[in-house]
Amino acid sequence: MKIIAIALLTSFFAFNDKLHGIWKSTDNNTIQYLNFKSDGKLLEIIDKETYRYDFTTKENFIQLELKNGSVLEQSFYIEGDTLIIQSFSEGKQITNKFIKEKLAL
């Protein structure tokens, strides 16, 4: 039983490690980047504006803590090097896709 619990925790953290890093939006109309950091901070850059959020993940959901104290929850999954985030606004499904950015240092 202990081995199963350890395997589940290991796979959970390995999956969340895939989320960490810089992601660039595939939308050609907007310049948008997401930078998920391992300390639970998210930087969102849209055009020339930068927004900071605290985030947590639970299963395949991202919970963002907004400045006004409310929480925004979005589902996500990763296909290859593509992050797909889905949410609902005014009864309509919104899907955003991001490509993992590789940094050359």
Instruction: Write out the residue range of the structural domain in which residue 29 sits.
Output: 2-100
Average pLDDT over residues 33-59: 94
For 9, counting Cβ atoms within 10 Å of its Cβ (0-12 exposed, 13-18 middle, 19+ buried), the class is exposed
Average pLDDT of the chain to the nearest whole number: 84
48 domain-assigned = yes
Average pLDDT over residues 84-89: 92
105 domain-assigned = no
20: domain CATH number? 2.40.128.490
Number of structural domains (the chain) is 1
Backbone φ and ψ for 25, nearest 5 degrees, come out as -65, 145
26 domain-assigned = yes
The reported pTM is 0.77
Binning pLDDT at 50, 70 and 90, where does residue 28 land?
A: confident
What pLDDT was estimated at residue 18? 84
